[in-house]
Structure 1
C-alpha cells in the first residue's frame, strides 16, 4: 500500500504584529515550520533562511533511517546559513528561529525539532504532541514543579532555551515515527497553542479537510486574542496520491521575501509559474476577501514624526521607571552607624554617581556603638535591614536593651559589710560520712544555656 500526503498551509500576521516572522513549507515529502525571533534583528530573515535551506529535503530519494541523517544535516546547514547572514550584517546579531520538520518516505516519518513550535498527530480521534518544547516552562513541568495547566498561563511560557541561531550548539531533537493511513499531522507556531486550549485544537483537527482545518485553527487563535503570528500546516496521510497534493506550498516570511513582498502578514504561496493565490496554500481560486485586511498598505507620511514620538515615549517610560525606583528606595530603612552612634537610615546603601539613595533618619544619641558586644557591633556596622520604619525602631530598641544589660553586668560589685568582731565559738566539724569527690577544674562551670560572651567586647 502506497501512502501519500494531502496538505495545506496558512500563515497570518495576527492582529498586533506588523511583520510576519513565521515561515512554513508543505510538500509531498516534507512538512516544515520555522518561527523567527529577534524583531529588529531580522527574525523573518532567520525563519525564511531556515526554510529555504531545509525545504531541499522534499524528495522521494531519501527514506528509512537515512531521513534522520538528512534532517540533521539540513538543520546544521541552515544554522550555518544564519551564521553567514550575521557575518554579512552584524545588525542581525541575536536573530534566531525555531525549526520543526516532518520528513515522509511513504512508510515512516522523520522528525527534527528545535524550539517551541509544535508537531501533532491525530490518530483514532486522539491528539498527540510529537515534539517536546525547548522552553523554560516545559523544564518546570518536566521537573514536576508546575502542572501542564499552570504552564498554559505561566508569564514566562515563551522563554526558549534552545533555538537555531547560528551558534555551533544548535542540535535538534531527532526521531523516527510510525505512520498509517488516516493519520492527520499538524505543525504550528506558538501563536496557536499559547492561546488555544488542546481540547479546542483537537476538536478542530477531528473534522474537515486540511484546507478548512488550517483556517479554523487560525481563526480560533485570532478570536482568543493571540498577539503573535499564527502559522499552521496540516496534512492527511492517505492511501492514494491526491490530485491537488503535488504542488509545494510556501507561506509566511519565506514566501514574502522570495517574491519581494513588503506586505504586513500577507499569506502567500509559491507555485510553478510564479502565480500567487491566497487561502490555505494557493490551490487556485480567487483571493479570499478576508485576507485583504492584511494586504500591503501604502506608506504613512511623516515617518520622522512617529520616530520622535517613539523616542519621547521611551524617554518618558525610562524617566517614570527611574522615579518609581527612587521612591521605592525611600520606603526602605536599615540600622547602621553614624560616627560613634547607632542610627536609623532611610533608603538603600547603594552608590550611584551624582545621586545619594540614603540618609540618616534618626540618630540614637543615647546609644553608642561601643556600648554593644562584639557580635552586635559587627551587625550594626554591616547594616541591619528592616521591613519598615517600625521594624527599624524595634531593632534599635533591642540593641538598647542589650547595651543596658551589658552596662549592668560591667558595674563594679557592691562592697559586702565587714564581719562582726565579737568572737564566736567555732563550729564543731563532723567527720564526713562519704568520700570527697575529686575536683575536675579550677574554673567554675557555665550553667546550661548561658553564653559567657554576651557582653564580650563592650568598651
Structure 2
C-alpha cells in the first residue's frame, strides 16, 4: 500500500503580453504535469491541451509496478500524445507545426516516475534546498553544458527560446525518463519557462518555503509577472505527506490553462491576477474562441487507447500528401530559421587564438555537435606567449566584440600590451 500522498495546487496565467494561454497544467493525486504549447498561428494551445488529455490517464491508483514499469507507463503516455497530434494534423493541416513541451511526474505512493521533453521544468524542494530535476532541451542549455555561458547569461540570451526537442506531429521524440525517491516533507514544483525563465533558484526557494501548495503556486506566478515575464506562466506545486498526516486532502484533480479553456468560454476571462493585491497587472484579455470543433477533437479520445491504436480504421484520403506537405512546411520553416541564424552569425566577431596566434573570428563562439559556429577571419602578428597570463587567458576563452572594428581595436590593445621579445644573443662583455 502507498505510504505517502500528495497535497497540491495549480495556477496558470495568460501573462501581461500574450493574448492567449498556450500553457496547460494538471495536478491530481497521482500525477503532476505541465505542457507549454509551441506554434503561434499553429495553435500551441491545442497541442498542450491535447498532451494533457493523454497524460492525465496516468492519474490513477498505482499497482505493484516496478521502476521500469512505472517509467514505461510514462513513456507510453508521451508517445500517445504524439500519436494524437499526428491525427489532429492529418484532420486539419492548418495545425501543422504545432508542438508542446511536457514535464510529467507520475506518483506511485513512494516515488516519482519523471518524463520530460522540452524546457518546462521540475524541481524538488527538500530541507530548505531546491534542486532542479530536469534538464532543458534547448540551444542555450548546450552552451551551458559546454561551459560557454552561465545560467544567468542564458536567461537573457537572444536564442533562449530555441527548443531542440518537443512533442509534435513529425517526430516521436524520446522523453528523458528517471525515478525520484520521495520523503515526507518534500515539496515539488512543475512549471513552464514563463516562471523558471525569470526567477532564479534562490527566489523560487524563498517562495516554496512558505504557505500551502496553492499559496506557493499563486505567489510563484505573481512573482514571475512582477519580474517581467513576457510569457504565459503555469506552476503546479505539491507537498508530500505521510498518508495519515495529510490534512483535508483535495482529491479532485485540477486542470488549468489551455486545457481548461472550455470553462473560460463559459464566462471567466482575463488573467488570474487582474485585481489581485496591487491591482490590474495590465495583461491583455485572452482570445476566448477556438476553431469550431477544436475542443471536441481534443476530447474525442477512445475508451481503450491501446485497442483503438491497433484497430482497423477507415482509409483516409490524401494522408501521405498531407504528411508530406506538413513535413515540407516544417523543413521550410527550419530552413528559414537556420538561414536567418547563419546570416546573423556572419555579422558577429570575437577575438580568439589559433596555433599560438591571436586571430579575429567571424561567427559565434560556440559549437553544436562538434560543428564550430565560427571561422578565422583575420590572422594577426600578436603571439599568445608574449601576452600576460591574464590577457592570454581572456583570448583563449574568446573576447566578444560588437563588430569588426571593435575586434580590431581589441587586437591593437593586445599588441600594445605585448611583452618585449627576449634578446637571445646576449650582450658583449
Q: Which residue in 2 is equivalent to 1:26? A: 27
Native 8 Å contact 2:8 2:239 kept in 1: yes
Quote the Cα distance in structure 1 between the aligned partners of 2:267 and 2:146: 43
Using structure 1 for the length normalisation, give the TM-score.
0.58
Task: State whether structure 2 residue 205 is matched by structure 1 residue 202.
Answer: yes
> How far apart are 1:39 and its partner, in Å?
1.1
Quote the Cα distance in structure 1 between the aligned partners of 2:93 and 2:270: 26
Which segment drifts farther, 6-15 or 168-177?
A: 168-177
Equivalent residues in 2 for 1:408-419, closer than 5 Å: none
Task: State whether structure 2 residue 40 is matched by structure 1 residue 39.
Answer: yes
Native 8 Å contact 1:14 1:265 kept in 2: no
Please say which structure displays the higher CA radius of gyration: 1
Quote the Cα distance in structure 2 between the aligned partners of 1:298 and 1:143: 41
> How far apart are 1:243 and its partner, in Å?
2.3
Task: State whether structure 2 residue 152 is matched by structure 1 residue 146.
Answer: no
Native 8 Å contact 1:33 1:189 kept in 2: yes
Deviations 1:157-204 (A, max 9, x none): 111000001223311100011100010000000001111222111111
Q: Which residue in 1 is equivalent to 2:259? A: 254
Change (3 A) 1:58 1:245: same
Task: State whether structure 2 residue 67 is matched by structure 1 residue 69.
Answer: no
Change (3 A) 1:168 1:258: farther
Q: Which residue in 2 is equivalent to 1:16? A: 17
Using structure 2 for the length normalisation, give the TM-score.
0.62
Task: State whether structure 2 residue 110 is matched by structure 1 residue 110.
Answer: no
Equivalent residues in 2 for 1:371-450, closer than 5 Å: none
Quote the Cα distance in structure 1 between the aligned partners of 2:286 and 2:88: 28
Quote the Cα distance in structure 2 between the aligned partners of 1:87 and 1:262: 32
Q: Which residue in 2 is equivalent to 1:171? A: 174
Change (3 A) 1:262 1:51: farther
Quote the Cα distance in structure 1 between the aligned partners of 2:287 and 2:55: 34
Quote the Cα distance in structure 2 between the aligned partners of 1:290 and 1:111: 37
Deviations 1:65-97 (A, max 9, x none): 221000000000001101111111111111100
Q: Which residue in 2 is equivalent to 1:403? A: none
Q: Which residue in 1 is equivalent to 2:3? A: 2
Change (3 A) 1:83 1:288: farther
Native 8 Å contact 1:187 1:233 kept in 2: yes
Quote the Cα distance in structure 1 between the aligned partners of 2:14 and 2:234: 8
Q: Which residue in 2 is equivalent to 1:53? A: 54
Q: CA RMSD in A?
A: 2.8
Runs of 5+ in structure 2 lacking a partner?
Answer: 289-342, 344-403, 406-429
Equivalent residues in 2 for 1:167-316, closer than 5 Å: 167-240=170-243, 241-257=246-262, 260=265
Match of 2:129 among 120, 126, 131: 126
Change (3 A) 1:239 1:297: closer
What is the DSSP-based 3-state SS (H/G/I as helix, E as strand, rest coil) of the residue aligned with 2:193? Answer: coil
